[in-house]
Homo-oligomer: A and B are copies of this chain.
């Protein structure tokens, strides 16, 4: 016990003993066993994080924010990826719960019933992020993806566009919500037409953007603007326009989603919906720390971090 104390709370042990113990630790190359520590103390100092993808730049700022705000506070951040699969998500949650994290921060609000059951029964505080829901497991920090997509589509309508296409990867729950937002805006304007839809069941990628635009054009009509459900697709669309000699924004307006790093420095700069992903991560980390410290959930269980439109060179000027 004295050794345990000497290592964790040196101030509670006499200087002399502390030195003796440190010497022995070095001599024996002793490393405390976190598994035994966890078992005895019931504290893991671990925050579980579940993201949809480790390879999509969308989660980069978010993960950085979690690191920036949790590591200095002495927490270990355990990140697992679902790779956009409900099955892998359930597995990841199981894996995570086995580690007994002190809180779980998860991307999305549409977990499978079993996944949700696991989370609810676990007793571990859960923060759902990126999207908003009326029925969070515990806490929800996100933005209304449908509303954001609606605003982006509305912006294209306001610029005078009528033939507005949409390009999306259906694999992503956020992208599906955005597709709905686009649909609502177009319906309201009386311009909705299935021929302006191009979606893929595959994971999002730059190449998919070009392919989907190609398909839409080859189906007959050419749109004069496209809303891309993420910036990777938008980049692919931009390249495809260049390849086909379609002038952007003169003949084609492009607006993306998320404001990934390259959007601002593309040529022309890609218009996009700015989502505060770092801020979302920061807030999630802060909330989690407060919950662990106080032992109770905050009363305010739903935070809307909002979004903003950045209309850059890839959309034409107002007429």
Contact = CB atoms under 8 A, between A and B. Distances in A.
Interface residues of A, number: 55
B265 A29 contact: no
Interface string A103-118: 0000000000010011
A235 B207 contact: no
Contacts of A64: 55, 83
Contacts of A33: 39, 98, 100
A310 to B, nearest CB: 15
Interface in A164-212: 205-207, 210
A128 to B, nearest CB: 18
A95 B31 CA distance: 8
A28 B98 contact: no
Interface in A14-37: 26, 28-29, 31-36
Residue among A31, A99, A240 with max Cβ neighbours from chain B (10 Å): A31
A78 B78 contact: yes
Cβ-closest 7 pairs across A and B? A55-B60, A29-B121, A35-B38, A206-B262, A242-B267, A31-B97, A35-B35
18 contacts: A26-B114, A29-B120, A29-B122, A31-B98, A33-B100, A35-B36, A35-B99, A35-B100, A55-B64, A67-B83, A78-B78, A79-B79, A206-B266, A207-B264, A232-B262, A239-B266, A239-B267, A242-B267
